[in-house]
């Protein structure tokens, strides 16, 4: 009950303090007339005293008021005329400073005549609140049963308490509110969690200290319902994603038996499978290594991976078009559509992928190796593009290690070359490379490194010297020395071709260096 209701019940009670008491709620009332009585206060009480404690020393009453305030009591009712000739000024000064109400109770009131009707009123109020909260709780449950929205839940909370709200659904990244207001640190806020993860947060446009116990109970009901609704969202989204993942996996692996089966399953997910399409794989560099090296941060790494994949999908759809996607342990597979089967369209796609890689690296400090398969006319053949994209990842990492973008047409030659790696016989075109490596090992020189730089710079001595920060004559000397080591003319196109072939083979088969 409100403190103002006590003054309404007892018309001859006098409020001695001079501030508003409209929002002060009383949950208990008790008599404290013993020296250690305040020790037994439990908060939210209207404390009644005869003043006997202070008849020897009026100044003690100010200390007592401070103590009651600290213990969470709501007000003090005291029979001022019983032991004081006048109202103690120090008492009123401290009470007004602390915003702690002091009420003068006429001396002719026995304590039982005050306590009994107040307790009866409090009990009636609690019964009313229980009835009301039960009704509100049932209404909240009805919202869930009738499959209504989060917005409905919090609109009902607003209609019940008339307090402006903002609720953040972190799972779907949505915000619900009835009115925009400026948030501050005094606003009431409370989060909800699922499996120790914060999935939602409610902010009310009211300080926490101004909420009644009834208000807090209703808020808890609303948040319980919100938790059920969001967990339901999570379950539905994950189930749909799992079924869709299985479908996309079957498409990529060629596990669809017929076009009819493909069309039926695509219709279930409202997926448009007509037209030209290709596969792009974003494979996170060193992700499994990070998990092994930092096992205590696995949950954090999984969350980072989820956000990276979401960022790629969102940006891809924003800059290109809607895509089908398939999430694996450390890679994201996208099926994207095209206007024709012309593979030169992949050059534009490569530019887009390059932009996305920069965004991811900037936001999350992770890099990706990206493989791009060729465009297929029929999605029934998309497994070919998928296999090509996988080959791009594999060959690309052998050629450049990490953080590259590889199109199948660019690595097809190296795939063919890689088929010779498992042969027991070393190909003859590697012989000149082995001569240079042997010379470097015996003489402690770096001619193989110089050869690498010459090949990468298209045999330009000038460009190689510039990038190596070496004098042109130094590179020229090394060029001539390599010719001498292999006993061949490096200006001859056929010699250059075989050296490049050997160099690429070595990049694909690093075991030969061991």
Q: Per-residue confidence at 209, pLDDT binned at 50, 70, 90?
A: confident
Mean per-residue pLDDT, 8-35: 86
Q: Is the pLDDT of residue 154 over 90?
A: yes
| pLDDT surpasses 90 at 349 | no
Q: Which residue has the higher pLDDT, 427 or 145?
A: 145
Sign of CA dihedral 366, 371, 376, 381: negative
* Mean pLDDT, residues 446-472: 89
Q: Which residues of 303-332 are buried (b: 16+ CB within 10 A; e: fewer)?
A: ebbeebbeebbeebeeebeebbbbbeebbb
Residue 150 above 90 pLDDT?
yes
Q: What is the mean pLDDT of residues 157-165?
A: 93
All structural domains of the chain with their residue ranges: 3-120, 129-235, 272-420, 428-512
Neighbours of 511 (CB within 10 A): 8
Q: What is the pLDDT of residue 388?
A: 92
Q: What is the percentage of the chain residues whose pLDDT exceeds 90?
A: 32
pLDDT digit string, tens, across residues 389-433: 998 898 888 777 788 899 988 887 777 666 665 555 666 778 888
CATH fold label, 129-235? Beta-Lactamase (3.30.450)
pLDDT bucket at 373, cuts 50 / 70 / 90: very high
Is a pLDDT exceeding 80 seen at residue 130? Answer: no
DSSP classification of residue 282: E
The more confident residue out of 429 and 231 is 231
CATH homologous superfamily, domain 3-120 = HprK N-terminal domain-like (3.40.1390.20)
User: H helices of 37-149, where?
Assistant: 60-70, 80-83, 89-98, 111-145
Count of CB atoms situated within 10 Å of the CB of 138: 11
Comparing CA positions, the residue from 365, 371, 363 lying closest to residue 311 is 363
Q: What is the pLDDT of residue 421?
A: 58
Q: What is the pLDDT of residue 410?
A: 82
Six token digits for residue 422: 């498992």
> What whole-number distance in Å separates Cα of residue 252 and Cα of residue 274?
15
Which pLDDT does position 56 carry in this prediction? 66
Q: State yes or no: pLDDT of 514 exceeds 60.
A: no
Give how far Cα 180 sits from Cα of 157, 168, 218, 226, Å.
Answer: 16, 13, 22, 20
CA distance 301 to 198: 17
What's the rounded Cα separation, in Å, for the pair 399 and 207? 61
pLDDT confidence bin for 512, thresholds 50/70/90: low
Confidence band of 376 (pLDDT split at 50, 70, 90) = very high
pLDDT at 279: 94
Whether residue 371 contacts residue 283, with contact meaning beta carbons closer than 8 Å, is answered with yes
Q: CATH assignment of 272-420? A: 3.30.70.270
CA distance 481 to 493: 18
Mean pLDDT across the stretch 170-191?
Answer: 88
Portion of the chain with pLDDT greater than 70, in percent? 94
Q: What pLDDT, on the 0 to 100 scale, is given for residue 426?
A: 65
Q: How far, CA to CA in Å, does 162 sit from each of 139, 145, 209, 211, 513?
A: 16, 24, 16, 12, 76
Name the pLDDT band for 321 (thresholds 50, 70, 90): low
- In the predicted model, is pLDDT for residue 440 greater than 80? yes
Q: Please report the pLDDT score of residue 303 as a whole number.
A: 84
pLDDT band at 511 (very low <50, low <70, confident <90, very high): low
Query: Higher confidence at residue 183 or residue 476?
Result: 476
Mean pLDDT of the chain: 86
pLDDT of residue 272: 82
Residue 320 has pLDDT above 80, yes or no: no
The rounded distance, in Å, linking the Cα atoms of 95 and 438 is 95
Segment 146-157 shows an average pLDDT of: 93
Whether 84 has a pLDDT exceeding 70, the answer reads: yes
User: What pLDDT shows up at residue 268?
Assistant: 83
Q: SS in 3 state form for 353-398?
A: HHHHHHHHHHHHCCCEEEEECCCECCHHHHHHHHHHHHHHHHHHHH
Q: What is the pLDDT of residue 36?
A: 64
> For 104-128, what is each residue's pLDDT tens digit?
999 999 888 888 888 888 877 777 7
Give the pLDDT confidence score for residue 387 in this predicted structure: 93
β-pairing, 324-327 vs 331-338, is antiparallel
Lowest mean pLDDT among 66-75, 96-105, 378-387: 66-75
**Nearest one of 311, 335, 312 to 323, comparing CA atoms:** 335
- Mean of pLDDT values over 285-310: 80
Find where tokens 């669809």 sit: 256
User: At 327, phi and psi to the nearest 5?
Assistant: -95, 130
pLDDT band at 291 (very low <50, low <70, confident <90, very high): confident
Q: What separation, in Å, do the N-terminal and C-terminal C-alpha atoms of the chain show? A: 86
Contact 377, 353 (CB under 8 A): no
Residue 29: is it exposed, middle or buried by C-beta count within 10 angstroms (0-12/13-18/19+)?
Answer: buried
Topology at the third CATH level for domain 428-512: Arc Repressor Mutant, subunit A (1.10.10)
Paired tokens of 12:
């001859």
Is 283's pLDDT higher than 70? Answer: yes
Mean pLDDT of 136-161: 92
Q: Is the pLDDT of residue 245 over 90?
A: no
153-181 average pLDDT score: 92
Check whether 513 has a pLDDT greater than 70: no
Contact 279, 332 (CB under 8 A): no
Check residue 38 and give its pLDDT. 62
């Amino acid at each position: 009950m409100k403190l103002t209701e006590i003054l309404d019940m007892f018309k001859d009670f006098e409020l001695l303090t001079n501030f508003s008491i409209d929002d002060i709620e009383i949950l208990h009332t008790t008599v404290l007339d013993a020296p250690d009585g305040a020790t037994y206060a439990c908060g939210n009480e209207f404390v009644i005293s005869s003043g006997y404690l202070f008849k020897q020393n009026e100044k003690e009453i100010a200390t007592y008021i401070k103590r009651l305030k600290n213990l969470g009591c709501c007000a003090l009712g005291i029979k001022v005329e019983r032991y004081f000739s006048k109202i103690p000024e120090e008492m009123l000064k401290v009470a007004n400073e602390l915003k702690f109400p002091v009420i003068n109770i006429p001396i002719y009131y026995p304590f039982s005549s005050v306590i009994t009707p107040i307790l009866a009123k409090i009990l009636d109020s609690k019964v009313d609140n229980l009835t009301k909260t039960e009704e509100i709780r049932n209404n909240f449950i009805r919202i869930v049963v009738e499959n209504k929205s989060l917005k409905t839940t919090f609109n009902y909370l607003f209609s019940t308490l008339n307090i402006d709200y903002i609720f953040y659904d972190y799972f779907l990244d949505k915000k619900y509110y009835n009115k925009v207001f400026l948030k501050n640190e005094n606003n009431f806020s409370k989060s909800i969690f699922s499996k120790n993860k914060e999935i939602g947060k409610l902010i009310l446009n009211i300080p926490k200290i101004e909420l009644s116990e009834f208000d807090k109970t209703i808020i808890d009901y609303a948040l319980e319902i919100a938790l059920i609704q969001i967990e339901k969202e999570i379950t539905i989204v994950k189930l749909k994603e799992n079924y869709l993942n299985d479908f996309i996996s079957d498409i990529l692996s060629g596990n669809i038996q017929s076009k009819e089966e493909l069309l039926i399953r695509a219709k279930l997910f409202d997926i448009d499978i007509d037209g030209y399409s290709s596969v792009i794989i974003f494979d996170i560099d060193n992700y499994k290594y990070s998990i092994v090296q930092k096992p205590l941060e696995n949950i954090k790494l999984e969350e980072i991976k989820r956000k990276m994949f979401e960022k790629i999908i969102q940006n891809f759809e924003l800059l290109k078009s809607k895509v089908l996607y398939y999430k694996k342990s450390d890679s994201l597979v996208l099926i994207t559509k095209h206007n024709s089967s012309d593979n030169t369209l992949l050059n534009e796609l490569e530019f887009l992928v390059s932009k996305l890689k920069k965004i991811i690296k900037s936001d999350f400090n992770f890099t990706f190796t990206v493989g791009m398969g060729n465009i297929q006319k029929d999605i029934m053949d998309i497994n070919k593009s998928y296999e090509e994209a996988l080959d791009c990842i594999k060959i690309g990492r052998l050629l450049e290690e990490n953080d590259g973008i590889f199109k199948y047409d660019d690595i097809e030659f190296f795939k063919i070359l890689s088929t010779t790696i498992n042969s027991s016989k070393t190909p003859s075109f590697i012989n000149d490379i082995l001569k240079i490596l042997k010379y470097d090992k015996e003489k402690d020189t770096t001619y193989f490194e110089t050869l690498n730089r010459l090949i990468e710079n298209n045999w330009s001595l000038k460009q190689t010297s510039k990038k190596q920060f070496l004098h042109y004559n130094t590179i020229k000397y090394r060029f001539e020395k390599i010719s001498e080591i292999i006993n061949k003319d490096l200006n001859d196109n056929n010699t250059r071709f075989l050296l490049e072939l050997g160099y690429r083979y070595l990049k694909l088969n690093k075991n030969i260096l061991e």
